[in-house]
Amino acid sequence: MATETRDEPEAKDEGKGKKKAPSKRTSPALFVRQIIAELRKVIWPTRRELITYTTVSLVFVLVMVALVSGIDYGLQKGIYELFG
């Protein structure tokens, strides 16, 4: 079923008036500690990798801009020829 999740099994007694106990809130200090712990697990790219990834991304964006601009220009000229 699309509404089921892996973590929580389907409740058998839904709608029988039972309410869940409110979950505890995380304190801001614990939240910050958890963020720092997660950031320590990250494998950060080296400067060379970062430059490579940035260059590839920029080139891809420029190619896509050129492609869309070319198609737009061609369609514009076609419409002007057809209706103009």
Reported as a pLDDT band with limits 50, 70 and 90, residue 19 is low
Please state, in angstroms and rounded to a whole number, the distance separating the CA atoms of residues 51 and 57.
10
pLDDT of residue 26: 87
Average pLDDT over residues 6-28: 67
Query: What's 8's DSSP letter?
Result: S
Average pLDDT over residues 33-53: 96
Please state the separation of Cα 63 from the chain's center in Å: 22
Neighbouring residues of 8: CB distance < 8 A, sequence distance ≥ 6: none
CB atoms within 10 A of CB 1: 4
pLDDT of residue 29: 95
Whole-model pTM over 0.75: no
